[in-house]
Structures are given as structure tokens and as C-alpha cells.
Structure 1
Amino acid sequence: MTEQVLEHMTKAQQHLVNQSMSYMDGLYIDDAKLIQSYENAGELDSRGSAHYALGLLLRNHDGDVHRAEHVIRSVLALQYDAPDEIYHGTFRTRPDVTDPPRGNYNWKEFAPGTAYFLERTFEKVSAEFMDELWSDESILNKSAERKHVKRLFQSAIDQVLPPVWKSYDPNWREFIACAFAVILSEFSHRLPQQLIEQMEYAMKLAVAASMDRRESDVIPMNTNIELMHIFITHFYGHRFNDADWIAHSDQQAERMLNEFMVYESFAEFNSTTYYGVDLTVLRMWRRYGSAARFVEIGRIVEAGLWNNIALFYNANLENLSGPFARAYDMEMTAHSSVGMFIYLLLGEEYMHLADVNCEVEHGPLIALVGVDAPIEVIPFLKEHQGNRLVQKQFIELCERNEPASNRNLCTAKAWIGEKRMIGAMSGSRNTNGQMFPATIHWQSDQGHRYDLRLTRREVGESWNTHLRGITFEADLTEDSLMIEVSLETADEIDIYFEIRGSFIGKDNIQDHQWSLPGLLCAVTAEAPAPSVLIYPDYAEIIYRYVPGVTSNKMKFDLKLQ
């Protein structure tokens, strides 16, 4: 493998590196030797710093290598070395986080699904506790007080058992191990031997812990983490001549391929957020893989992923249609690196798709691994290939559900029109708030782009949480979107449509008709009367479920003109 030198890269590759590095240079804090988070100004970011170190070594300007050494050491200092704990080998997301509790959770002694069963058990205990308090009106007679006590109860649990995603992020093992793999492959000659040995020691901890996580299935891996896990066990297995790791990676790669080929789709389906990570890691499989079969599996799956992207892509709107199994934003340029790959593939005319967003730190890595898409995909990325109804099935992963019943067959439908896309999902039982089962994208005659998505939240909370007992079934035609919602929960829930775009006011939204720029929508709703909230760049149309007061079924029929 020939060393990648910035000056020898294509113009598009150089742009990705220079844009990313210019931005991350501005986030660098010299005292900490780490960069700040793109999304949370003032918070230091260990994962982003690992990618910054890679970019520094690639750029190789005066002082870059010296700074990269400091950054790598700062990232290494944030690793947990706690062999008996579930967070062993992962990295603090930032230096100022409080360490998770220790010594109270013998997680390796429990069967797969322990996290699910613990969570469900404490939910039931909490519910019983709340019911006892609720029955005594002198103790607790207001919903706000009930919620406050519920939080206190959960906080007490979190002080004893390390709560995943709150007190630690297990995925930082895989992300940082991937960044270090590229550094060790491409730029070992620029680093002191002692630092390389420190990195290798840290990677032995991280990969061994990643293996424990996978084999125990205590914390399930979504697709992007699964791909990274298989890569790092393969890469470091060969680097350290570890036969067990190599055998594990070979077996997992074949299993992943077989599962992908059933419906030629991922569990983490139709996600601009995670498809960018998937493409990056599959390119790493091909560039840094040490076995022909491993590289070939990467090629097959990468090609299949590009075919899925093309199927749901609208070149006029420069976006993927919903529905989304997991996503943060509706726009591809908002929380995704897919646009970077399209830019590398199609050239300068598409540079705007690679503009800075929260995935900017991946620019140097994507420039290094490059792009390779099937030739039949190119026309779909360049021009609208005619109005079409598309349908794809996938087997989802419900990461917070019982392992024996957390893989459901889902159907994703989309209408891809010239200026409008509609998405609808059925079959999902996912508790994840990042799942958006009913979506619309459109463009007004003035060229302004808009999007709509249906989601849910506990009253007063964020949509990006896990909530049980809420299911959606959606279907569509080329000019309609139909949704059924079932709610089996003791919590008050907002079911709401979020509409993003300019020039939306309360006058645009009536109970039975939404007169939106570029879209007239007749609404039939079997649901409580809605409330409307207007923000500078989006609006919410909210239908509130109150247990025991409103029906636990809602239906919506949107007719589009």
C-alpha cells in the first residue's frame, strides 16, 4: 500500500482535507491538546480529536506531527482501564465527565439481554413505586411531582449501575480504534516508537472489550458499529497475530454478508446519518483488509449499499427520501457525510453537498479511503430518473428490546417524484426516537426545500429517547400518506408532525388543512385537537395523548395537492 500524500491527492480529496482541517484547527484547545465538539461549543471531544490527529498527520505542515502526537496522547489518557467493568476499554467522550460507578455490576456473569431485562425490571419497579405514591394524594398528586420523583428514582439507579449512553459511550471503542488503525497503517513512520506502543496497548484493551461486548450481546451493535467492530477485530487481529480475533472477524464478516443478502439491506436502514459511516468503514475494509475474502465481502456490501442509496435518492432534491430507520436530520447535508462521497464520485459541480456539518471531522478519513460506486448508480445521483414507487424490506434491530424478539421485518415505501418525496414504514417495533416512519420532502416553485416528519416524545422531553409502547404503521400513494399510531404507555405523549422550512406561520396550519409553501395538505385526523408551535425555522403540530383521558389510537390521512 502506497502512502497517501496530500499533494498527490485529487482536487476533491484535497478539498475535503483542507476544509475539515481548517474547521478543526479553529476548534483546537492548546491547553487540553484536544478539539472541541462541533455541536457543543466548549465541550472537548475525544472522538473528534482522534480524527483531527489523523488529519494532522496527513496534512503534515510545520508543527502538525508534533501537535498530532500531543492529541493522540490526550486521547489515550481518556481510555478506561477497568477490566471488570462493562465500560472497560472505551474512552471518555470528554475529559470532564464523571466516571461511571464501579464494582456493582458483574455483567460478564449474566446471559445475553441482561441490559434489556435490567431496564425492564427497573421500569416495572419504578411504575409500582409511582403507583404507590400516586394512590396517596397527600404524597403525590400532581403530574409534575410524579415526573420529578420518577427522575429521582432513576438517578438513584444510575448512581449504582453504570447507565449506557449516559455515563459512558461503548461505541467510542470502535470509532477511535478505527481512526488509530488508519494512523498506524499510513503514518507510523511519523510517530515515535514509544507512542506507537502506547497506541497498540490501548487498542488491545479496546478490541478485547469490543469482543466481549459482541459475544455477550449485553449492548447490541447497530449496523455502523457492527461494521467497525468487524474491521477492528480483523485489522488488529492481523497486526497482533491473534488467531482468535481473526477467526472472529472472519465469522462475523460472513454472518453480516449473509444477513445483508437476505433483503440486500441493513438493519440501520435508509439513514443518511449512518450510511456515511457505513461507506467509510466499508472502504476501510477494502483498503486495509489483510485477506482477499474480507476485502471481497466489503466490495459486495459496499456496492449493495450504493444501490440502496440510489433507489431512495432524488437528484432534484439532492436527498434521500424517508422513511428512516435511524436518523437525526431530514436533510442529507445536515448530519451526514454521504454528500462527501457523492462529491468525490461526481466532481466539482457537487462540492456544495460536502459543505461543513457535524460530520466534518471525517473529511481526512474519507479523502484517504476514497469512493467506489457501481456504474449503474451514477445516473440516479446526477439526474432524476423518473417518478417511481419504491419498496424495500429490512430486518431492524431494536437495541432496547428482548434479544429473542428484537429483529422485526419492516417494509419501507417511498414515492420519488420530481419535486416531492413521501416515505412510509410498516412493521417496526423500534423504541428508538431516531426512527421516523412517515416523512415528506418537497420543493416549492421558488426553489425552497421543506420536509415533514412524524415523531413522538414524552411531554416536556426530547424526541431522541427510547420509549416503549408506541408503534406506527404507515402507508402511502403518490399523493397521500396514511398513519396509524398505537399507544400502550402510562406516560403523557406528544405525537407530532415537525415541518421544517421558511415562511411557515400559524395561519398556514388549520385543523383540517395545511397550506404550506409549495404543498397543500388536506388532513383527516382521528386524534385529539392539535396545538401548533411556530419556531424561526420549523413548526410543530402536536396531538397529545393523555392516558385514561384520550384514546390510545390515532389515525392520520394526509392528502397532498
Structure 2
Amino acid sequence: MYVLQNYVVLTLWSQCAFAAHSFAKRNDTKSFATNLLHESLDWLDRFYDNERGYLFSLDSEALTHVTRESVWYAAGLLARNEVDDVEQAVRIVSNVIGAQFKNESEQWFGDYQIYPEEPSVGTEQYLPRIYSSWDPNWRGFIGTTFILILEEFSHLIPQDIQEYMLESLYNTTIGDSYRVGGVDHDNLYPAYSNPSIMRALVSGWVGRRINDSNMTTAGEADAKAIIDLFTRDNTLSEFNSGTYAGVSLFALTLWAKYMPEDSLMGQHGGEMIRQTWTSLGQLYNANLKNVAGPWDRSYGYDMNKYLSILALQIWTLVGKENAPVNKKPYAMGHKNDFSISPLIAILAPFHNTLVPEETLSSLLGFPGTHTVKTSAFSPPYDTYPRNITAWISPNLTIGAESFAENVIGGPSKNPSSFNPAVVQWARRDGSVGWLSLYAQVKELDVKVGEWTLELNYPKGNVSSGFSFLVGTNGWNERRDVSKWEHVEGVKVNVTGNVDTNYTVTFNGLRSGARETINDFEFWNFTYTMPPSSQEIPRVQLDFELA
């Protein structure tokens, strides 16, 4: 009884202490956001070309420049408002609008250059390749930033430049209306969450601002389609992406903050943010500083090593030291997304009030072993909603999804970013080990349990294979891996009807069987079916921490 009573007292004390800590963290949101703003601007300042009024390429590409990131930087300059910051921000905005595509007959009308030195899109030497020579999502990224600037900093912007920005927003809204999923190689369906949320916002906001009922109606129609998909199971169709969940949360914040109550966006934006964070909080493992898989679109396998927009939002919530961000964010993989930090920081004081207290707690401390079950739906690619299960323990997580799709590689049709089954574990040096199933089929059935993962290919055959990408070992561990016993931190037992003779190859930065994926080196453990098999391919992995 004495032990139980003390346990209850200690538990209540811990809960009270954590609640007080959580409250303090809420009050620290502004300082965390300010820290993010200034640290990111200090980095971006180094890339600013005062002669041209653009940022140099963040990849140091022979002193060329970048458009989208320059606009994000301009918003940060207005927020900082020191010395000649406002003058330079206005200059950047004017430069970008001046180069906006203005031919209404072209598919890229109202879009913005990817970089100012590029040739004219549509010429014989620079053919119009969507997501290559031009990117339709730049309308959304730059359009939403212009709206943020006009909403937050109009008192700093000369009237003629404000009018110039509204004209640009009108053109970009018209151009975005050209986008129809499945037409002209475009993939903008409501299920493509991050650009569809941005398009709805820009169309609805601009329509109201200039009193254009057609634009307003179009924005509301887009919003309704997005909301209908979301409320099916309170999940984004573009599910659980460290990068694109971050973009969607950014755009939903604009819905909640800038759209009126007579708009569906104003009505639903806040709740969609809360529900998205609830899902992310349930999947987050604070011990590993990672959101458990599966990931619809990921630019890495460990959030501690690649820069995700979601991690920047976590930074504003619990501080840099508690977020999955390296001390030097600009040294991480996919580092260029650090340039969106000014927008995240500017919106954080509002956005963070919508994050549930339970989620905030889970970002600071692991709540205990639990299982998460949910689903997401991305028509026209999904035959039925993707059914997601994740088992999350203190030092190992297993997450996977069952799906039937008409493409390989998920709705983004990219096997390098679609991770339908993911395992992560803690290693002795505090780093994270990981395993991901490489997407090779249109249908997958999964079973996730305590310490176990079962995978089936319902329409597989003797030619099917399972390729497991496994991260390299930690700093002080062995460099060469040729079998499971060489993988640091975890024991893996593989059973099923696959051939027990597997192959192991290396994908490296400098050499190996093939190249890295999103700059991550890995070992590829591949299983094939026995030559005479007539069975549905099935493999089961059982895990134990080493």
C-alpha cells in the first residue's frame, strides 16, 4: 500500500509538474518563434545578393538565384524590420512580380520563375515540362506568401506595391484555375493536400479582396472537396509527411487566421489543424524525435538528419533543443526548406494556440506504448482508403499501411518518397536506426503488432521481391554490413514464404550498387520468391532490441 500511495503521489506530482512545464512552454512560443526567425534570417542573409535583389541559389549553383525562397526571405525581412530590411523586401517582391509569366494562353500563366536566369519557358530550347522547367506549385507558395505579407505587413508596403501584389495575385489565381487533375500532365486533385489547400486559400482570399465572386466561389468549392476528404477520418490525404504536412499546416493556418466565418475555410481551418496535430502527436516518439511511419512523401528516413518543415513547427512549440533539428539546421539533408522558417515563425503565435495540449505533451515526453489506427484517402489513385497501423514503444516503432492503388509509389508516383512500411529504433549512441520497405507494387496488405510486421503482396507472383532499405550503423559501429546480425541496435528474424537466401547491397554517396535516396546511404536487403512458388508473396519481420 505504501508503495502504491507513493506511486500515486509521484504520478500526480509528475503530472502537475508537466502541466506547469507545458504552460511555460506555451508562454515560450513567442521566444521560440523569434529564435527561429532570427536564426533562419542570419543564414539567409549570407545568400542575399544586394546587387540583384534576389537570394543566390542555396545550393551554390554557380551564383544563380532563386525565386520562391527570395519571397520567403522578403517576408522575414519585413518581420525583422531592421536597417534597410523593408526596402530590400519591397525590392524582392517587385523583382519577382516583374518576371511573372503573363501570357494567358500558356499553361504556366500567372506562375513565377523557378530562377531568374532561366530561359523562356516554352521555347524550343527550354520545353515546357511541368515540375521541371516550370512548377505550378510556385503559384501557391508565392501567392500565399504575398497574402501573408499583405495581411501582416501592409503598413510597411507602399500603396503602389500593394496594388502591384494584388494584380499579381489576381493573375496567379487565374493561372491556377487552369490546373485540372489528369489534364496536361497536372496532378492537382483535392487529395494533393498541400497545393490544393493553398489554391483554395488564394482563390478565396483574392476573390473577396477584389470582389470577384467567381474566384470566391471557386475557392469555396476547392475547400469543400478538401474538407470532405479530410473529415472522412480527420486526416490529410497527403498523410504524415514531415515536409508536406508542414506545408498543409502552414496553409491551413492562413485559412484559420485570414478567412472570415462565412467561408468554409474560416469555419474548418482551425479544427483541421487540431486534428492533424492530434494524429501527428499520436505518431510522434519524443525519445526518437521522429514521427512514426508510414510516410506518404518523405525526403528522408530520420527527422534528426533531414530538415523537415514539421520540425520547424515543433521548434516553435517546444524549442530547438527539443525538436528534431540539428544544432546546424543548414547542414542537414534537404536543408533548403530552412528558408521557409520566416513564414512558420510569423504564424507561430497564432498557429500554436490551435495545437492540442495532449499533442504538446507528446512532443516533450513519450506517453507510453500504444497503437495508432487510422486511414487516409487519395482518389483517384486509391481503390479504397489506405488503412494505417502503427505500434509505438519507447525505443522502437513499427508503422505500415495497406493499400490498393493504380500507381506504384503512392499518389506522388515516387517510390523514393513513398514509405509504406517503416521501422525505427534507438541505438546506443542516441542515434536512430531505420528500415523502410521500398515501394514496388500497387497493392500491399500489412499486419502490425507488438514487435512484428507482416507484409503481403495480394497480386504478387514468383517475380515479386521485398526490398528493405536499412540505414547505416552509428559513428563508432561497423561500417560493413552483409547480414542482419551486422545491423546495429536491433535483431531481426525474417520468416514467410520468401527464399531465405537474401542479398545485401550498398547504396552510397560515392559508390555502391546504386545511388543514395534523398542523400541517405543505406543497405538494401532483398528477398525474392522461390523459383517454383505459386503462393502470394508474404514476409514477416520480428524485431528485438539488441
Alignment TM-score, normalising by the size of structure 1: 0.77
* Partner SS for 1:385: coil
Residue matched to 2:332: none
* Partner SS for 1:282: helix
Residue matched to 1:414: 390
Letter in 2 for 1:296: Q
Contact 2:108 2:134 (C-alpha < 8 Å) held by counterparts: yes
Letter in 1 for 2:47: L
After superposition, the Cα gap between the structure-2 partners of 1:266 and 1:184, relative to the gap in structure 1 and judged at 3 Å, is same
Residue matched to 1:519: 490
Letter in 1 for 2:366: H
Residue 162 of structure 1: CA displacement?
3.0
Query: CA separation in 1, counterparts of 2:464 and 2:116?
Result: 36
After superposition, the Cα gap between the structure-2 partners of 1:557 and 1:343, relative to the gap in structure 1 and judged at 3 Å, is same
Whether 1:477 and 2:446 are equivalent positions in the alignment is: no
Residue matched to 2:164: 198
After superposition, the Cα gap between the structure-2 partners of 1:259 and 1:539, relative to the gap in structure 1 and judged at 3 Å, is closer
**Structure 1 range deviating more: 276-285 or 27-36:** 27-36
**Which residue of 377, 381, 384 corresponds with 1:395?**
377
After superposition, the Cα gap between the structure-2 partners of 1:366 and 1:553, relative to the gap in structure 1 and judged at 3 Å, is same
Residue matched to 1:55: 76
**Structure 1 range deviating more: 341-350 or 364-373:** 341-350
Contact 2:71 2:142 (C-alpha < 8 Å) held by counterparts: yes
**Which residue of 411, 423, 429 corresponds with 1:440?**
423
**Which residue of 329, 335, 360 corresponds with 1:378?**
360
Residue matched to 2:514: none
Whether 1:27 and 2:10 are equivalent positions in the alignment is: no
Whether 1:337 and 2:309 are equivalent positions in the alignment is: yes
Whether 1:171 and 2:137 are equivalent positions in the alignment is: yes
The aligned length equals 478
1:109-508 map, 5 Å: 162-214=128-180, 219-221=186-188, 222-293=192-263, 294-333=265-304, 334-347=306-319, 350=322, 353=325, 356=329, 357-370=335-348, 371=352, 372-397=354-379, 403=380, 406=382, 408-429=384-405, 430=410, 431-433=413-415, 434-455=417-438, 470-485=442-457, 495-503=467-475, 505=478, 507-508=480-481
Query: CA separation in 2, counterparts of 1:409 and 1:444?
Result: 34
After superposition, the Cα gap between the structure-2 partners of 1:167 and 1:534, relative to the gap in structure 1 and judged at 3 Å, is closer
After superposition, the Cα gap between the structure-2 partners of 1:212 and 1:162, relative to the gap in structure 1 and judged at 3 Å, is same
Deviations 1:207-227 (A, max 9, x none): 111123158865233101111
Letter in 2 for 1:509: S
**Structure 1 range deviating more: 292-301 or 384-393:** 292-301
Residue matched to 1:509: 482
Contact 1:470 1:486 (C-alpha < 8 Å) held by counterparts: no
Contact 2:391 2:449 (C-alpha < 8 Å) held by counterparts: yes
* Partner SS for 2:107: coil
Residue 10 of structure 1: CA displacement?
2.6
Q: Which runs of 5+ in 1 are unaligned?
A: 1-7, 103-157, 398-402, 458-468
Residue 84 of structure 1: CA displacement?
1.5
After superposition, the Cα gap between the structure-2 partners of 1:485 and 1:167, relative to the gap in structure 1 and judged at 3 Å, is farther
Query: CA separation in 2, counterparts of 1:236 and 1:242?
Result: 8
Deviations 1:227-255 (A, max 9, x none): 11111112111111111111222233233
Residue 442 of structure 1: CA displacement?
0.7
Residue matched to 1:464: none
Query: CA separation in 2, counterparts of 1:344 and 1:506?
Result: 36
Letter in 1 for 2:303: M
Letter in 2 for 1:255: A
* Partner SS for 1:265: coil
Residue 454 of structure 1: CA displacement?
2.0
Query: CA separation in 1, counterparts of 2:135 and 2:216?
Result: 25
After superposition, the Cα gap between the structure-2 partners of 1:530 and 1:83, relative to the gap in structure 1 and judged at 3 Å, is same
Query: CA separation in 2, counterparts of 1:37 and 1:252?
Result: 33
Query: CA separation in 2, counterparts of 1:493 and 1:39?
Result: 36
After superposition, the Cα gap between the structure-2 partners of 1:406 and 1:558, relative to the gap in structure 1 and judged at 3 Å, is closer
Residue 182 of structure 1: CA displacement?
1.1
Alignment TM-score, normalising by the size of structure 2: 0.79
Residue 192 of structure 1: CA displacement?
2.9
Q: Which runs of 5+ in 2 are unaligned?
A: 1-27, 330-334, 510-519
After superposition, the Cα gap between the structure-2 partners of 1:382 and 1:552, relative to the gap in structure 1 and judged at 3 Å, is same
Deviations 1:513-535 (A, max 9, x none): 34322111123472684242164
After superposition, the Cα gap between the structure-2 partners of 1:217 and 1:231, relative to the gap in structure 1 and judged at 3 Å, is farther
After superposition, the Cα gap between the structure-2 partners of 1:28 and 1:550, relative to the gap in structure 1 and judged at 3 Å, is farther
**Which residue of 90, 99, 121 corresponds with 1:100?**
121
Residue 24 of structure 1: CA displacement?
0.7
Residue matched to 1:128: none
Residue matched to 2:19: none
Query: CA separation in 2, counterparts of 1:396 and 1:319?
Result: 24
After superposition, the Cα gap between the structure-2 partners of 1:37 and 1:164, relative to the gap in structure 1 and judged at 3 Å, is same
**Structure 1 range deviating more: 169-178 or 26-35:** 26-35
Residue matched to 1:463: none
After superposition, the Cα gap between the structure-2 partners of 1:187 and 1:34, relative to the gap in structure 1 and judged at 3 Å, is same
Say what the alpha-carbon RMSD is for the aligned residues. 3.3
After superposition, the Cα gap between the structure-2 partners of 1:28 and 1:176, relative to the gap in structure 1 and judged at 3 Å, is same
Residue 313 of structure 1: CA displacement?
1.0
Letter in 2 for 1:502: G
* Partner SS for 2:55: strand
Query: CA separation in 1, counterparts of 2:61 and 2:465?
Result: 31
Residue matched to 1:153: none
Query: CA separation in 2, counterparts of 1:29 and 1:494?
Result: 48
Query: CA separation in 1, counterparts of 2:493 and 2:397?
Result: 17
* Partner SS for 1:58: helix
Query: CA separation in 2, counterparts of 1:214 and 1:291?
Result: 28
Contact 2:372 2:389 (C-alpha < 8 Å) held by counterparts: yes
Residue 195 of structure 1: CA displacement?
2.5
1:32-47 map, 5 Å: 32-39=52-59, 41-42=61-62, 43-47=64-68
Contact 2:121 2:128 (C-alpha < 8 Å) held by counterparts: yes
Contact 1:390 1:413 (C-alpha < 8 Å) held by counterparts: yes
* Partner SS for 2:386: strand
Query: CA separation in 2, counterparts of 1:493 and 1:229?
Result: 40
After superposition, the Cα gap between the structure-2 partners of 1:163 and 1:407, relative to the gap in structure 1 and judged at 3 Å, is farther
Query: CA separation in 2, counterparts of 1:262 and 1:339?
Result: 26
Residue matched to 1:79: 100
Residue 277 of structure 1: CA displacement?
1.0
Contact 1:413 1:425 (C-alpha < 8 Å) held by counterparts: yes
Deviations 1:136-194 (A, max 9, x none): xxxxxxxxxxxxxxxxxxxxxx9897321122111000000001111122222323333
After superposition, the Cα gap between the structure-2 partners of 1:391 and 1:159, relative to the gap in structure 1 and judged at 3 Å, is farther
* Partner SS for 1:422: strand
Query: CA separation in 1, counterparts of 2:160 and 2:534?
Result: 65
